[in-house]
Amino acid sequence: MQVDYIVIGAGSAGCIVAERLSQSGRYSVLLLETGGGLHNPWISVPAGFGATYYHPKYNYMYYSEKQVNMNNRQLYVPRGKGLGGSGSINAMIYVRGARRDFDDWAKAGNPGWAYNQVLPYFKQLEQHPQGETDYRGAHGPIGITPMATNAHPICQNFLQATQETGLPQNSDFNGQHFEGAGIYDTNIRAGKRESSYTAYLKPSLKRRNLSLWTHAKVNRLMLQDCQVKGVEVVHQGQAKQVSVAKEVVLCAGAVANPQLLETSGIGQQSRLQKIGIKCLLDLPGVGENLQDHLCASFYYRANRRTLNDDFGSLSGKIQAGLQYALGRKGPLSLSVNQAGGFFRGSDSEEHANIQMYFNPLSYEIPTNPNAKLTPLPYSGYLIAVNACRPTSRGSVHINHAMPNNAPQIDFNFLSTEHDRQESIQAGNLVRKIAQAPSLQTMTLGEEKPASQVNNNDEMLQYFQREGNSIYHLSGTCAMGPDKQINVVDENLLVHGLAGLRIADASIFPNITSGNTNAPTMMVALKAADLILADND
């Protein structure tokens, strides 16, 4: 079997790439997805993301290596499995990132990726209710819901507290300004989750030139004379080879991309030889440069009703369920990450370097995969916080030649003094805002860390003891001109190979300053244009 294009991974990027390449009808496109369809109704319910947090049908449920700077803990690493990928199990916060994030991509040797050059792709993605502006798009497939009008009332207490703390306000993190406190936008349409699967791929599946194989595990790329000729795939239990006339586009994510490259003989020669894989292309950057946002949460007991009361009692559940069933309204129709913003952790910072989430719901992540994510048994809220641009770098590598083995994920969190100091900044900023009058009037006390943290040393220890990934893995196939450290060039072509591009968060040279789903979709749109420009 031969097709013009093979796209590997039907996640946030792959769904868009497959739709765009098949749009003209001129090319045959095969989209391969290891997981299956979305049969759990909670996936479409915005507040229902907890139902897939430990669900092996929709989640790879990886764990990291022991983190030496995090009390030797293994951290949970959920990754989306099935149509829509992680875009079908995330919290739907729609943040592009700061202007300087993308300008830094261009400065790193990637012409064409500066903010002003990627902004048209962001606008092309979205359908924003405020209409077309210099910064927002009105006609794209991804429906955007600003939560400002429907956020829980206590979010206003948070915003007022930031004002009292002297922090700027921001009505649109994706507009002209990035810094400030506000209410997040979400990729939600009419009370239902919107993903690249629902917005791009699903409507295009009727095209005769687009084929989708689910339960299709790609084991290896087929190489010949430094050119990718196709893939070896197990589809519904049958081993198959599919050849490609034009290109293979790898969109399997920051974990699966280096895993597939290394099992195919593409990576650092000495590493591959140690595990018995013949190196076909020595590319040392494969699997290096892993970046993520390290987050810690602060828990507060409230003297008024919060979402803990709505989701934690039978009567509250019934009321929320009726609101949603009758009109896609109420707390189930929104993300639980509602207010927040981007702030400078100290007056000496040149840019906003701290991201914050104010949740009118407090819950702790269960460590037992058989347990459910449930609200804490009191009226409460939490404030989660992370640094925007950490300097620690980790890795993702295979440790076995078998393609079905889980890879080794090492975040290497808090390995730099810069990151340790920013964690202290982040925690202290949460405490400063929480002490402002507008939050104090509704707060009975800090439940955690409370008396455990009384100084900077103890604040750092709290991050080491309680901090976790916020699931923004990126950078493991970084874009750049140096084939000794980078994996793809500015056109997303793999260095030293013909016929293979990578197009998802794994190509980020540096992590963006916010949530990564929106920039991942932007990369996919730009990638499709690059591919078509080279092949039309």
State the pLDDT confidence band at 206, using cuts at 50, 70 and 90. very high
Reported as a single tens digit per residue, the pLDDT across 302-359 is 999 999 999 998 898 999 999 999 999 999 999 999 999 999 999 999 999 999 999 9
**Averaged over 1-10, what is the pLDDT?**
97
pTM of this prediction?
Answer: 0.97
Residue-level pLDDT at 373: 83
CA distances from 100 to 96, 349, 389, 393, 509 (A): 11, 14, 11, 19, 13
Buried b (16+ CB within 10 A) or exposed e, 331-360: bbbbbbbbbbbbbbbeeeeeebbbbbbbbb
32 closest CA partner among 50, 15, 48: 15
Taking 90 as the threshold, does the pLDDT of residue 191 lie above it? Answer: yes
Measured CA to CA, the distance from residue 227 to residue 221 in angstroms comes to 10
Place of tokens 């939600």: 188
Give CA–CA dist 122/130, Å, rounded: 15
Task: Name the residues annotated as catalytic.
Answer: 472
pLDDT one-digit tens code per residue, 410-459: 999 999 999 999 999 999 999 999 999 999 999 999 999 999 999 999 99
**Tokens in use for 241?**
């080879």
pLDDT category at 142 given cuts 50, 70, 90 is very high
- Per the CB < 8 A criterion, the answer to whether 9 and 252 are in contact is yes
Q: Average pLDDT in the 57-73 region? A: 97
Judged on CB neighbours under 10 Å (0-12, 13-18, 19+), 206 is exposed
Confidence at residue 380, expressed as pLDDT on a 0 to 100 scale? 97
Q: Is the pLDDT of residue 220 over 80?
A: yes
| Residue 470 to residues 75, 109, 390, Cα–Cα distance (Å) | 10, 28, 13
Residue 198 has pLDDT above 90, yes or no: yes
Work out the pLDDT band at 369, boundaries 50, 70, 90.
confident
Contact between 5 and 30 (Cβ < 8 Å)? yes
* Amino acid of residue 145: T
Q: Three-state SS across 348-388? A: CCCCCCEEEEEECCCECCCCCCCCCCCECCCCEEEEEEEEC
251 forms bridges with which residues in the sheet? Answer: none
Q: What is the pLDDT of residue 372?
A: 79
Closest CA to 65 of 296, 462, 406, 464: 406
In whole numbers, what is the pLDDT of the chain averaged over residues? 96
- Give the separation between CA 470 and CA 410, rounded to whole angstroms: 14
Residues composing the chain: 536
SS (H, E, C) 294-332: EEEEEEEEECCCCHHHHHHCHHHHHHHHHHHHHHCCCHH
Indicate if the pLDDT at residue 371 is higher than 80: no
pLDDT bracket for residue 401 (50, 70, 90): confident
**Residue 17 · residue 305 · CB < 8 Å:** no
Please report the pLDDT score of residue 535 as a whole number.
Answer: 84
Percentage of residues of the chain with pLDDT beyond 70: 100
Q: Flag whether pLDDT at 403 surpasses 80.
A: no
SS3 289: strand
In this prediction, residue 390 carries a pLDDT of 98
Residue 176: CB atoms within 10 Å: 10
